Amino acid sequence: MEDEQKTKEQLISDLQVLRVKIAELEKSQSELMQAEKAFSQSLEKYKNAIGFIINVLALAVEVKDPYIAGHQKRVTDLARAIAVQMKLPADVISGIHMAGLIHDIGKISVPVEILGKPGILSDAEYGIVKNHPERGYQILKDIDFISPVALIIHQHHERMNGTGYPQGLKGEEILPGAKILAIADVVEAICTHRPYRQAMGVERALKEISEHRGVLYDPQAVDVCLMLFRERGFSFKPC
């Protein structure tokens, strides 16, 4: 009888301890949920701030050169479509998207007379234009983008065989995002009118990337780009 009473008291005591533990767990869970909510709100604010920075930077260079305005958006559309089709991770696609929208930001340092020059550029003028990936990198390198946006922009004129600029990187030394951006950049540039020449059309652009597949341009990204235009009906939206 005494033992039975003891067991009962013990059970009540255990139950009370259990109740306290459950209450503590519920409190921790609620605190965790609050922390998660605060984190996702901060992340959202951070993404908005980055989006704002990108828009401001894009506008700054687009005001200087109207050709760049539509160019950056169209290049982004194609680069993003290639990346999605290649099933790259979401953070890589996001990095390509952000880099595309401001990939020519370095041209902010190029005089308007050179950007809009209708004739052939002198070696000195071409040298100034060629400095834009480096300049863009310097402008962006300290911004915490999560994805390597500044590096993608730094490398968007690199070529698979090392003949690109500014660093002459080769093959796997070049980021996947930069390889994709390079193809989209070239295709868009050939397709559209420039101050120094008429638009040459989509077929000419696709011929360029086909002929230099694996030599200048990443073979897999070239195949996906060709497929998008020839089988999926991809076309550049007018900006």
- Using DSSP's 3-state secondary structure scheme, residue 194 falls into strand
Least distance (Å) from Fe ion to the CB of residue 156? 6
- Using DSSP's 3-state secondary structure scheme, residue 114 falls into helix
Stretch 98-137 residues interacting with Fe ion (CB under 5 A)? 104
Toward Fe ion, which CB reaches closer, 21 or 197?
Answer: 197
Toward Fe ion, which CB reaches closer, 77 or 104?
Answer: 104
Toward Fe ion, which CB reaches closer, 89 or 168?
Answer: 168
Nearest to 213 by CA among 192, 191, 182, 178: 182
Least distance (Å) from Fe ion to the CB of residue 157? 6
Count of residues engaged in binding Fe ion, rule: CB under 5 A: 1
Q: Which stretch binds Fe ion (CB under 5 A): 32-40, 82-90, 97-105, 147-155?
A: 97-105
In order, the DSSP letters of 71-100 are: HHHHHHHHHHHHHHHTT--HHHHHHHHHHH
CA dist 236 and 129 (Å) reads: 25
In order, the DSSP letters of 12-49 are: HHHHHHHHHHHHHHHHHHHHHHHHHHHHHHHHHHHHHH
DSSP H stretches of helix in the chain: 2-64, 66-85, 90-101, 112-115, 123-130, 132-140, 149-154, 176-191, 202-211, 219-230
Stretch 6-45 residues interacting with Fe ion (CB under 5 A)? none
Toward Fe ion, which CB reaches closer, 104 or 158?
Answer: 104
Toward Fe ion, which CB reaches closer, 89 or 162?
Answer: 162
Site string for Fe ion, 164-203 (x = CB under 5 A): ----------------------------------------
Least distance (Å) from Fe ion to the CB of residue 31? 49
Least distance (Å) from Fe ion to the CB of residue 132? 6
Toward Fe ion, which CB reaches closer, 10 or 163?
Answer: 163
Please report, as ranges, the residues that interact with Fe ion according to CB under 5 A: 104
